[in-house]
Amino acid sequence: TQLLEQSPQFLSIQEGENLTVYCNSSSVFSSLQWYRQEPGEGPVLLVTVVTGGEVKKLKRLTFQFGDARKDSSLHITAAQPGDTGLYLCAAFNAGNNRKLIWGLGTSLAVNP
């Protein structure tokens, strides 16, 4: 069974701080995605990373895919209250792009 472990599970910080959340596995994935989910809503895709070592930036968010394609990180610079939400990583198995495996998520609260 392939698992995605996210850490930390909960994070509460002050506006303006930087943070990094992690998504780890012992399995190799063909690609990995980060989603953000707000209460009562569906996950919203932030980014897809495909190549080992890949770094993608989305404004203040920086996503990195591990060299071995087993792990990923999300770094937020100068967090804002609008960044509050549940950050989920999800990945396709190598060789199967029909179903996503999900982490449990990091619940981020950015306090003004």
Residues engaged in binding another protein (CB under 8 A)? 30-31, 33, 35, 40-45, 47-48, 50, 88, 90, 92, 96-104
In whole angstroms, the minimum distance from the beta carbon of 5 to another protein comes to 11
Q: How far is CA 5 from the centre of its chain?
A: 11
**Closer to another protein at the Cβ: 9 or 14?**
9
**Closer to another protein at the Cβ: 80 or 97?**
97
In whole angstroms, the minimum distance from the beta carbon of 20 to another protein comes to 21
In whole angstroms, the minimum distance from the beta carbon of 70 to another protein comes to 15
R_g over Cα of the chain:
13
Find all residues with CB under 8 Å of 65, minimum gap 6, and list them.
32, 49, 50, 51, 52, 53, 54, 55, 71, 72
Question: What is the largest distance, in Å, between two alpha-carbon atoms of the chain?
Answer: 44
**Closer to another protein at the Cβ: 44 or 109?**
44
* DSSP run (H or E) holding 48: strand 44-49
In whole angstroms, the minimum distance from the beta carbon of 61 to another protein comes to 15
Tokens at residue 104, please? 């449990």
**Closer to another protein at the Cβ: 33 or 79?**
33
